[in-house]
Amino acid sequence: MSLIENIIRPEVRALSAYHVPDAGGFVKLDAMENPYILPETLREELGRRLADVALNRYPVPSYTELKARICAKLGVPAGYDVILGNGSDELISIVSVACAKPGAKVLAPTPGFVMYAMSAKFAGLEFVGVPLKPDFSLDKAAMLAAIEQHKPAITYLAYPNNPTGNVFDVADMVEIIKAVGDTGAVIVDEAYQPFAQDTFMPRLPEFPNLVVMRTVSKLGLAGIRLGYMSCSGALLTEFDKVRPPYNVNVLTQAAAEFVLEHVDVLDAQAASLRWERTKLAAELTALPGVEVFPSAANFLLVRVKNPNITSDGVFSALLDRKVLIKNVGKMHPLLENCLRVTVSTPEENRIFLDAMKASLAS
């Protein structure tokens, strides 16, 4: 056997690394980023704030001030705390490691966020995917049957879902949370909450097994890599034991604390993107051979239904026109011929629409 075969777990060898394409020179609409930057006056003030950060010192691992601001500004219920991560990805990894008892399983609807399954495999957990219905709604009966069969330690429900963009029925989600009961944690992933506005955060006191996870990435701070999640104190204490002691760096901490003083600016940007989402969806719907799915996120999922060109062909034609979106058609059978595009500024949306029209015609 080779060195790699001797030391690397077979399930890791079978995986492919998460690929992030080079976006240099492209109109970048593939990663659900907020296209807007902070106003110049705030950028200057932030620069002064960051200049005073003690880069020679480790972060204070309790992050007391930052967590207090998150709780106060972002709707965490009174009496509840948060745990912080280097983006939601690290929080998903923390949950996976904490729950990785022998034989434990992770369950989630598919198609969904790829890191649910990847993180499960990294931690040695079995991942069970339950396909959505063709309209991307939850198959509640199949979910309940899978819960009964597998008794998952972790169940993920993205709200809204990625890459489909839709929100699941709240009553169905509540029934799933109750069905899991005290045999597992249910993670409601609200990465796109600024664009959906609905949230399970106020319902934390109702369900001891409910965990609400969010990120500030989609809110306009993707570059600082900060995620947070809240749940009952007993559960949060156990998750916190797995968290690396200095997992949020001092620059991220200082930047987040500053921006949370001006969260109204980010809220206004999210409102603009919600408006642009409505306009972009209407214009895409008007194109022949394009199906647009309802979205409560900052992106749209579209299906190419043109007999003369596939989603692969449209994706390639868009690349030729220096527009980068996400080709999700191979991710899951339900996503056949589907593309995902981030909602951006009016100018970038127009560039994309013009390129989309030309690509469909080609």
pLDDT tens, residue by residue, 89-148: 999 999 999 999 999 999 999 999 999 999 999 999 999 999 999 999 999 999 999 999
Q: CATH 3.40.640.10 in the chain, residues?
A: 57-261
- Report field, pTM of the whole predicted structure over 0.85: yes
CA dist 168 and 187 (Å) reads 14
Sequence-distant contacts of 133-141: CB under 8 A, at least 24 apart = 134/334, 136/161, 136/164, 136/166, 136/293, 136/334, 137/166, 137/168, 137/169, 138/109, 138/168, 138/169, 138/172, 138/173, 138/176, 139/109, 140/169, 140/172, 140/175, 140/176
What is the per-residue pLDDT across 140-178, written as a single tens digit (0 to 9) for each? 999 999 999 999 999 999 999 999 999 999 999 999 999
pLDDT of residue 261: 94
Residue pair 190/199 in contact by the 8 Å Cβ criterion: yes
What is 285-308 written as a DSSP string?
A: HTSTTEEE---SSSEEEEEE--TT
- The pLDDT-based confidence of 61 (bands split at 50, 70, 90) is confident
Residue pair 295/301 in contact by the 8 Å Cβ criterion: yes
Residue pair 255/225 in contact by the 8 Å Cβ criterion: no
Q: Which CATH superfamily is domain 3-38+264-361 in?
A: Aspartate Aminotransferase, domain 1 (3.90.1150.10)
pLDDT of residue 143: 98
Nearest Cα to Cα of residue 66 among 247, 232, 197, 199: 247
Q: CATH 3.90.1150.10 in the chain, residues?
A: 3-38+264-361
Which helix (H) or strand (E) is 336 found in, with range? Answer: none
CATH number for the domain running over 57-261: 3.40.640.10
pLDDT of residue 333: 96
327 token code pair: 């080709």
CA dist 119 and 116 (Å) reads 6
Judging by beta carbons within 10 Å of its beta carbon (0-12, 13-18, 19+), is residue 325 exposed, middle or buried? Answer: buried
Instruction: Provide the Cα torsion 293, 297, 298, 301; round to 10°.
Output: -20
